[in-house]
């Protein structure tokens, strides 16, 4: 077991019994849903050719982003237990893209295991994939497979050159910023650390999930450039997929350290 697997395992081991069975339940629901999508995809000639066409129209970069967004959805199964009051970024996949992501992953899996199978023309791919699915159903429901999938996120960051400890500077998710609460200051004397000026009593200010307060007109331009709190570096979700994988992976690493310290 490599270091990435150990981190995910350690993070999972910090869940309580209820959260753990919740995790397994949501993984198995998602597995059945995606299995159903894949089966109907290979059994419908129209849907298959539309999805394949969509996939072929994407650049390599767009395909990479597609898989990254798919992997983010895997990581959030786990990180949702670790950040409860954080609004979600808008990284979820539309059905068309989910179909494409599942097909792309299935093609990669077949290519790895039976390289000759896809050497035939793409017209025959549907029947190749149909046979493959019957012989070896994609096993993504078990915890072991989940951990494999989640570790791919980190491998993905390494491959994209973002694997180091250096954080990418990314904007906070627009949907998350729009949803930030406004609070009225009940007492004066507090300083906005961005402009270094006092926030006057009775004024509406922005409250980040870490409870730090800022003038709206100061924090909005800040969050357009960075997704971190200017006081404590707390990270808000981002719409940048690599930045978001990095943030979610960071949550898992922090959690896994808590486990290795014995809480
Ligand atoms: Zn200010
Ligand atoms: Zn803060």
**Per-residue model confidence as pLDDT tens digits over 160-178:** 666 555 567 899 999 899 9
Domains and CATH numbers, the chain: 3-164+239-260 (no CATH), 174-225 (3.30.40.10)
Cα of 210 from ligand 1 centre, angstroms? 17
- Enumerate residues with CB within 5 Å of ligand 1 (an ion): 192, 194-195, 215, 218
Query: What does the pLDDT average to over 191-204?
Result: 92
Q: Would you call 145 exposed, middle or buried from its count of C-beta atoms within 10 A (0-12, 13-18, 19+)?
A: middle
Cα of 202 from ligand 2 centre, angstroms? 21
Whether the Cβ atoms of residue 210 and residue 38 lie closer than 8 Å to each other: no
Cα of 240 from ligand 1 centre, angstroms? 26
- Among 140, 55, 82, smallest CA distance to 256 is for 82
The 10s digit of each residue's pLDDT in 207-220 is: 999 999 999 999 99
The 10s digit of each residue's pLDDT in 238-256 is: 988 888 888 888 888 888 8
pLDDT at 261 over 70: no
Cα of 243 from ligand 1 centre, angstroms? 26
At residue 205, the pLDDT reads 95
The angle formed by the CA atoms of residues 157, 20 and 179, to the nearest 5 degrees, is 60
At residue 141, the pLDDT reads 53
| Nearest ligand for residue 213 CA | 2
| Nearest ligand for residue 211 CA | 2
Which of 65-69, 117-121, 190-194 bottoms out in mean pLDDT, i.e. has the lowest? 117-121
pLDDT more than 70, % of the chain = 89
């Amino acid at each position: 077991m490599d270091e990435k697997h150990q981190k995910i395992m350690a993070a999972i081991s910090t869940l309580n019994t209820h959260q753990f069975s919740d995790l397994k339940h949501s993984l198995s629901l998602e597995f059945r849903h995606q299995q159903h999508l894949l089966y109907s995809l290979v059994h419908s000639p129209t849907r298959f050719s539309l999805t394949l066409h969509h996939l072929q129209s994407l650049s390599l970069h767009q395909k990479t982003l597609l898989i990254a967004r798919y992997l983010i959805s895997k990581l959030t199964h786990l990180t949702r237990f670790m950040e409860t009051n954080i609004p979600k970024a808008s990284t979820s996949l539309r059905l068309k893209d989910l179909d494409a992501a599942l097909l792309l992953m299935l093609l990669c899996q077949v290519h790895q295991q039976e390289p000759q199978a896809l050497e035939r023309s793409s017209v025959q791919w549907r029947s190749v994939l149909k046979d493959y699915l019957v012989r070896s159903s994609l096993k993504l429901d078990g915890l072991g497979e989940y951990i494999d999938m989640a570790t791919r996120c980190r491998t993905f960051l390494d491959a994209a050159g973002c694997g180091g400890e250096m954080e990418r500077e990314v904007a906070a998710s627009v949907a998350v910023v729009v949803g930030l609460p406004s609070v009225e200051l009940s007492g004066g004397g507090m300083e906005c650390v961005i402009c270094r000026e006092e926030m006057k009593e009775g004024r509406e200010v922005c409250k980040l999930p870490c409870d730090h307060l800022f003038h709206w007109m100061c924090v909005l331009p800040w969050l357009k450039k960075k997704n971190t709190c200017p006081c404590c570096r707390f990270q808000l979700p981002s719409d940048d997929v690599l930045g978001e994988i990095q943030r979610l992976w960071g949550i898992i690493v922090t959690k896994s350290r808590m486990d290795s310290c014995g809480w």
